[in-house]
Amino acid sequence: MRTSRGVNDQYFKGEKSCGNDLGSAELMSFAEQIASAMAHLERCNVLHGDLAARNVLVGRQGLCKLTGIGEHSLVFDKDTYGTRKKDRLLIKWAAIETVMKQVRTIQSDVWSFGILLYEIATVGGSPYVGKDEKWLLDMLKDDYRMPCPDHVSEALYSVMLDCWKNSPGERPSFEKLVKVMRTLTLMNKHQDHINITKYDGELFLKLDDVKC
């Protein structure tokens, strides 16, 4: 995604593109495919634990495949913050109950899917860019959520907000998310949920990355 808009990406070493060649349909397809893959894990009672754009491989035909399943475990100190730089960055994708209570469920992955949706909608933008984990935890306790980017539809943003419900039980299942994403994808012919013509890449140039 970043390479498509001419931004250097440490995870993909291909040639830079001079312009964004990803439209709303392609980006929404990524989101639907990832939701479908996560629904399969949900049915198998498997947690991903680190769902993020960096752990999605995209083939030349736009086929998405999940990686990094069960590879990372956050390390917490007595103040509940990650003890390593990598962990502190991973917290930005972690559900509030994972950070505060060290609890992980499939509904924690749903929260992470909401963050991944933000990454997709911003064509590789970083969540909470430039903010540290203490700021994030304090703000999440006060019910702060990332605002809707100007180029993203309210319908798609509402999916993110549903994923970021404080109570895990109030978040949608991945099975439901698949249906929602398919409905939004079908609506693409009438509405661009990620309106690239209004997309301002300058707002998402600053990046926070996890160096594994």
CATH architecture under which domain 20-204 falls: Orthogonal Bundle (1.10)
pLDDT tens-digit readout, 61-75: 889 999 988 765 554
Residue the block writes with tokens 């498997």: 46
Which pLDDT value is given to residue 15?
52
Q: Which residues of 104-116 are buried (b: 16+ CB within 10 A; e: fewer)?
A: bebbbbbbbbbbb
Which pLDDT value is given to residue 28?
93
Instruction: Work out the average pLDDT over 68-93.
Output: 57
Which pLDDT value is given to residue 84?
44
Secondary structure element (H or E) that encloses residue 66, with its range:
strand 64-66
Report d(CA 22, CA 51) in Å as an integer: 21
pLDDT tens-digit readout, 125-155: 999 988 888 888 889 889 999 999 999 999 9
Percent of the chain at pLDDT above 70? 81
Report d(CA 180, CA 162) in Å as an integer: 11
Mean pLDDT of the residues in the chain: 83
Question: And the tokens for 105?
Answer: 């469920």
**27-41, 144-158, 184-198: the lowest-pLDDT one:** 184-198
Give the active site residue among 50, 87, 109, 192. 50
DSSP class of residue 9 equals B
Predicted structure pTM score: 0.86
Give residue limits of the domains in the chain: 20-204
Which pLDDT value is given to residue 209?
65
DSSP-based three-state secondary structure for 82:
strand
Of the pLDDT bands very low, low, confident and very high (cuts 50, 70, 90), residue 83 is very low
Checking if the pLDDT of 85 tops 50, the result is: no
Q: Has 138 been annotated as catalytic?
A: no
Within a 13 Å sphere around the CA of 155, how many CA atoms are in the beta-carbon half?
16
Which pLDDT value is given to residue 80?
41
Percent of the chain at pLDDT above 90? 51
More confident residue, 73 or 53: 53
Report d(CA 170, CA 32) in Å as an integer: 21
Which pLDDT value is given to residue 21?
73
DSSP-based three-state secondary structure for 81:
coil
Checking if the pLDDT of 48 tops 80, the result is: yes
